[in-house]
Structure 1
């Protein structure tokens, strides 16, 4: 079975305005444009964090879209969790990592066999100035993250990847450590470039215009 790669880091914010301000102060850049996810009632801002260690990686700041109707399902990345909303009320937080798969169904089957429910594939898309992006992503019905966010959400892109049209941002992902993943899951996903430790769930080291910045989950 093929290995997976780091696709993007997810930072949850109470609003995109809050997320942009946090990014400017913390990482020293203004994030690029993003889009809306009607099925989830969310919107985002994104920018490249690709590096030799993590080619094709990007950074997503995501928030509930106040102009969108309530979605017919629980939002992804645990955004409907009142505790998460309480924690991000004053400052955005690193909450998750998404991994890119080229064999989504087989990776999903492996996780289920290991006793983990990663959810079912959900087909999604959004329009950009460069054209439509389309993908399938595994999302649980309850929208919850597992293992404190350390178990990556799996995504498989259909055609164009978003980083193909992203300029260099000045921020690069140098290290990513996941905590608490069972050995069977590590072997199954074979996530390239990632290190492992007991905790925290996620620890990312980014080079930025302000110097190295470490982001960790609580």
Structure 2
């Protein structure tokens, strides 16, 4: 996977109250358990990952109970997260993060093991427009998770987004060059991912 590709869907984000709960939920839905990833010291979180093909993956993320509290809000709305594991946001990769990010989205230098990236999301940690607008990631030297994850044959078929002000959402996605990468719907869950699993479509939301 060439992580230098301009403005493309990079990964889906499933939040959970605990990493074990999130892994179990995905394993039950998709038949494959995500692989343990690691810790994000700057955010006080940890994750597990599941390949959805050569250029896309699914991330399960939760607060790390062993980590120190971060200086600011955790990403993906985790400080306020409740309920069962669910899709809360998606992440788009770009090589133009400083040009595309909004004024209230600082580009943070992040690291997990030898992976290094810059990440832009709102100051308050809450995903934009209910998670329908992606956070932005710009991968640095050190590779990309897709190059190391086992391929179980799962593939993302479609990501559908739903927001009350569909015109505003479409404008945001157009600004990011991503309007053609997803499908918009007038109602339903904010994020719905259709994933091919052994020839069948399984929906995550």
| TM-score category (smaller protein) | 0.7 to 0.9
- Structure scoring higher RCO (CA < 8 A, sep ≥ 6) equals 1
Equivalent residues in 2 for 1:96-111, closer than 5 Å = 96-108=89-101, 111=102
Q: TM-score, length-normalised on structure 1?
A: 0.83
> What residue number does 1:153 align with?
135
Distance 1:210 1:58, change over 3 A: same
Question: Gaps (5+ residues) in structure 1?
Answer: none
CA contact (8 A) 2:162 2:191 kept: yes
> What residue number does 2:159 align with?
176
> What residue number does 1:136 align with?
118
Deviations 1:98-120 (A, max 9, x none): 01111111112xx55xxxx4x11
CA–CA separation in structure 1 for the residues paired with 2:22 and 2:107: 28
The counterpart of 1:122, out of the listed 88, 99, 108, is: 108
Deviates further, 200-209 or 68-77? 200-209
1:196 to partner: Cα distance: 1.7
SS in 2 for 1:187: helix
1:68 to partner: Cα distance: 0.6
**What value does the CA root-mean-square deviation take over the aligned residues?**
1.8
The counterpart of 1:186, out of the listed 167, 173, 177, is: 173
Q: TM-score, length-normalised on structure 2?
A: 0.88
> What residue number does 1:15 align with?
18
1:3 to partner: Cα distance: 5.1
